[in-house]
Amino acid sequence: MNGKVKHDFLWGTASAAYQCEGAWNEDGKGISTWDQFCHSDKNIKGLTGDVAVDFYHRYKEDIRLLKEGGHNTLRFSISWTRIIPDQSGKINQAGIDFYKNVIKECKANGIVPNVTLIHYDLPAWLENIGGYANPVFSDEFAKYCKVIFENFRDDIPMYVTINESTHNAYCSYLTGNYPPNVHDVQTLVQVCYNLVIANAKAICEFRKLNLKSKIGIVHTTNTVQILKDTPEYRIAQRRGDLFKNKWVTDPAILGKFPDDLFPLLIESGIDLSFVKEEDLEILKHNTIDFLGQNCYTRAVVKPYESGETNYYPNNVGAGQKTIEGYVVKGWFQTDVDPTTPKNAWSREIYPKTIYDMLMGIKKDYGDIPVYITENGHAMAEKPNENGEIIDDERIEFMKSYLEWLIKAENEGCNVKGYYAWSTTDCYSWINGYEKRYGLIYIDYENDLKRIPKKSYSWYRDFIKEHTEGK
């Protein structure tokens, strides 16, 4: 290990439209499912992304801070309802102009835009006719993506179709704490399927334009590990891997669902009559150029013991006792490694997972380019008496993950970039604003003032020290 990545490695941070933009109803924007949910009585905490951190009006300041922090890329998402506000399909020019300006600002500051087309914020009108569960979702998504590809062409060098389709589906259709707040396993499976098909249909539109840009999907591979090596544990591991990862990454990279997936689903009583031959044909021909990987932790599993299928996410509040994890009836359930530290939201901290994940991708999928599109540490933090945010805990987290990433790169994994989650502190879905991830602190009490944390300067120095030719 030489401790450095190649000179053209992308170093940056990531954000998402609903979590940072604000301006929820400005300049012709339509209503998304998150606008609708946050303004309803299902939103128990009452916090919304109406203003968020006001990236919509302050993007120039934020992009300047990124440049000063030594970054050469920014991952952000486009809000679908800023571009196509409602069911009529009419394009909102003000929405296009906003993102053109953001991209222009990125370019002027030497920042490569890496742009996600949907990061959870589905149009409300589409949600109200069944959302991801309605098969029309994949066609509507492809239509919207086509508008983006035609308007932005190669000005966006890296397109991401969908952010974390499975995490979104599990929270929305299993835990039921993301809109539309459903708990139904049959619908969940159909949603996951529709998201896989939507990715392929969007890529199909992209390929028609023969652009130079690349297209990928963002998944969160939780490398699935077991604490005992028995045949039963190994079966649970494979099933955990199917459920967590392979039903997204196999179709996206190999163009087909894993052979053992459908038989297992049928055995579990799932009705697969929604699967269509023509969809499977689309999958075959529309695979990704690169894989975005959000990497927070691994999944430790054991054979199924008891309980109904459910997901216990890490977004139900600091200090809660439930360890993040799954029960999938008859397949597997989460195991707990008592030796590893957990964060305040009971998520396991396990830095080697980034290395295991990259090695696993190399083993399963060869040299497909991989970008770590999110990695970060949540803290409930406050400035000290001098107004500084000394987030040594976050620095320790990032340093340990990055050392494992560099080791994997040096050992031949085709990892080409890293994005810390998140650019600034921002809205953390169900958690609201107390759960902070940013390298830049947002003072919510003081006009959303930006204050770079200690990790911001640390990251700048780390990039310099660990990139060839810097």
CA dihedral sign, ordered 201, 206, 210, 216: negative
Smallest separation, CB 120 to ligand BGP (Å) = 7
CB atoms closer than 10 angstroms to residue 386: 6
Whether 203 contacts 288, CB under 8 Å: yes
Within 8 A by CB and 6+ apart from 327, the residues are 304, 306, 307, 308, 309, 310, 333, 334
Tell me which residue has its CB nearest to ligand BGP: 428
> Does position 397 bind ligand BGP by CB under 6 A?
no
CB nearer to ligand BGP: pick between 262 and 433 = 433
Distances in whole angstroms, Cα of residue 166 to Cα of each of 87, 196, 202, 244, 418: 25, 10, 17, 7, 21
Rounded-to-integer distance, Cα 319 and Cα 60, Å: 36
Whether 331 contacts 350, CB under 8 Å: no
Whether 341 contacts 377, CB under 8 Å: no
Closest CA to 359 of 407, 398, 418: 407
Smallest separation, CB 378 to ligand BGP (Å) = 5
> Does position 163 bind ligand BGP by CB under 6 A?
yes
CB nearer to ligand BGP: pick between 92 and 222 = 222
Q: Count CA atoms within 13 Å of residue 459 on its CB side.
A: 34
* Binding string, residues 72-111; x marks residues near ligand BGP by CB under 6 A: ----------------------------------------
Within 8 A by CB and 6+ apart from 212, the residues are 154, 157
Smallest separation, CB 167 to ligand BGP (Å) = 5
| Two tokens, residue 58 | 């302050």
Smallest separation, CB 244 to ligand BGP (Å) = 13
> Does position 378 bind ligand BGP by CB under 6 A?
yes
Report the site for ligand BGP in 273-312 (rule: CB under 6 A): 294
Report the site for ligand BGP in 435-464 (rule: CB under 6 A): 435
Report the site for ligand BGP in 315-374 (rule: CB under 6 A): 315, 374
What's 271-297 look like in SS3?
A: CCCCCCHHHHHHHHHCCCCEEEEECCC
Question: Can you tell me which residue has the tokens 């993040």?
Answer: 324
> Does position 114 bind ligand BGP by CB under 6 A?
no
Within 8 A by CB and 6+ apart from 279, the residues are 197, 200
Smallest separation, CB 48 to ligand BGP (Å) = 15
Closest CA to 216 of 328, 321, 372, 339: 372
> Does position 189 bind ligand BGP by CB under 6 A?
no
Out of 164, 205, 348, 381, the active site residue is 164
Among 29, 71, 167, 219, binds ligand BGP (CB under 6 A): 167
Q: Dihedral of the CA atoms 46, 49, 51, 56 (nearest 10)?
A: 180
Is 403 part of the annotated catalytic residue set? no
> Does position 244 bind ligand BGP by CB under 6 A?
no
Task: For the chain, give the longest Cα–Cα distance.
Answer: 63
Report the site for ligand BGP in 191-230 (rule: CB under 6 A): none
Out of 140, 324, 348, 374, the active site residue is 374
CB nearer to ligand BGP: pick between 47 and 270 = 47
Rounded-to-integer distance, Cα 13 and Cα 101, Å: 19
Among 144, 159, 421, 459, binds ligand BGP (CB under 6 A): 421
CB nearer to ligand BGP: pick between 283 and 378 = 378
Smallest separation, CB 17 to ligand BGP (Å) = 10
Distances in whole angstroms, Cα of residue 189 to Cα of each of 133, 166, 305, 352, 408: 9, 10, 22, 30, 33
CB nearer to ligand BGP: pick between 226 and 430 = 430
Smallest separation, CB 10 to ligand BGP (Å) = 18
Among 312, 429, 441, 462, binds ligand BGP (CB under 6 A): 429
CB nearer to ligand BGP: pick between 257 and 371 = 371
Smallest separation, CB 164 to ligand BGP (Å) = 5
Is 445 part of the annotated catalytic residue set? no
Report the site for ligand BGP in 10-69 (rule: CB under 6 A): 16, 19
Q: How many residues bind ligand BGP (CB under 6 A)?
A: 14
CB nearer to ligand BGP: pick between 34 and 125 = 34
Among 138, 161, 190, 428, binds ligand BGP (CB under 6 A): 428
Active site residues: 164, 374
Question: By the criterion CB under 6 A, which residues form the site for ligand BGP?
Answer: 16, 19, 163-164, 167, 294, 315, 374, 378, 421, 428-429, 431, 435
